[in-house]
Amino acid sequence: MLGTRVGTVQTVRNFLTDLNANQMRLATSQHQYSTGKKVDSPADDPVGVGIALGIRNDIDAVNAWRGNIADSLEWMNTTETALGDQTSVIHRARELAVQGANGLLSPTARGAVADQIDQLLEESAQVGNAQLGGRYLFGGTAVNTAPFTTTPPGPTGPANTGLLTREIGQAQTFSVNITADRFADPPGATPDIFTTLRDLSTALRSGDLAAVSGPALNRLDDHLKNLSALRSENAAKINRMESTLSRYAVDDIARRTTLSHIEDADMAEVAMNLMTRESVLKSSLAVGARIMQPSLADFLR
């Protein structure tokens, strides 16, 4: 009789242990089904959680770099617009210079051409003060200070030649701006655009046709070459940024796919496990009910 009593107690204990294990497995399946995650804490998969944390850090860093690239692209695209506007100004000035070099024009007509040159002079300064979000594109690192004045047109002072840099990758920095000195003053002996246009206007008013058809046109051509080089440089930077952004997009998909493999549950498998474990728990409870059926009289026989 003692053996029966001890055996029954052990059976009950074993049943309760198994029942608790079944309940834990069912709770795990229910949690996975409700969250869609198979890894929810370091205890679930210590190695996987470590890898997932590294991937999330990478994703956060890349998102910051992508934000810098997006801001850089906006800056450089706006710069391209300004450089295009300045190119149009100089093309127009060249057309007027060719027109003014015509010896058949009267002094009054050449004076009218000079007036248009003076307007282009002011327009050039306005283009040089182009802004993006209140920041001057050609102001160097002094983005809150206009690099040019329109009265009279010209630089406001020594050009700020500081470069605006952005971090676009691990230990990768990138300059996004073109400074005022490069915008207005081509390399070599050619004077800046303001001096060039003033000299052209003066030559037209004085009737110095040799200066108009010679040095003035040559200087304007130098400015056009300079702007063409700046636009090519800016376009190359835009292409690089767009390429980097595309690469980050591809990498982001790969990282998130790996992260999903580590953390996300296979919902079909989870649903099947949930049904199975619910069935197992019900069966366990039914077996437990039969184990508990013996009464005190059964032990007194």
Which pLDDT tens digit goes with each residue over 146-160? 999 998 999 998 999
CA 236 → CA 29, 96, 142, distances in Å?
Answer: 54, 32, 24
**pLDDT confidence tier of residue 257, bands split at 50, 70 and 90:** confident
Higher pLDDT, 271 or 130: 130
Rg (CA), the chain: 39
Query: Tens of pLDDT along 128-152?
Result: 999 999 999 999 999 999 999 998 9
Give domain limits for the chain: 2-38+265-299, 64-259
Higher pLDDT, 121 or 301: 121
- Given the DSSP bridges, would you call strands 153-155 and 165-169 parallel, antiparallel or unpaired? unpaired
Query: Tens of pLDDT along 150-209?
Result: 989 999 989 999 999 999 988 889 899 999 999 999 999 999 999 999 999 999 999 999
CATH number of the domain at 64-259, please? Answer: 1.20.1330.10
Confidence (pTM): 0.74
3-state secondary structure the chain: CHHHHHHHHHHHHHHHHHHHHHHHHHHHHHHHHHHCECCCCCCCCHHHHHHHHHHHHHHHHHHHHHHHHHHHHHHHHHHHHHHHHHHHHHHHHHHHHHHHCCCCCCHHHHHHHHHHHHHHHHHHHHHHCCEECCEECCCCCCCCCCCEEECCEEECCCCCCCCCEEEEECCEEEECCCCHHHHHCCCCCCCCHHHHHHHHHHHHHHCCHHHHHHHHHHHHHHHHHHHHHHHHHHHHHHHHHHHHHHHHHHHHHHHHHHHHHHHECCHHHHHHHHHHHHHHHHHHHHHHHHHCCCCHHHHCC
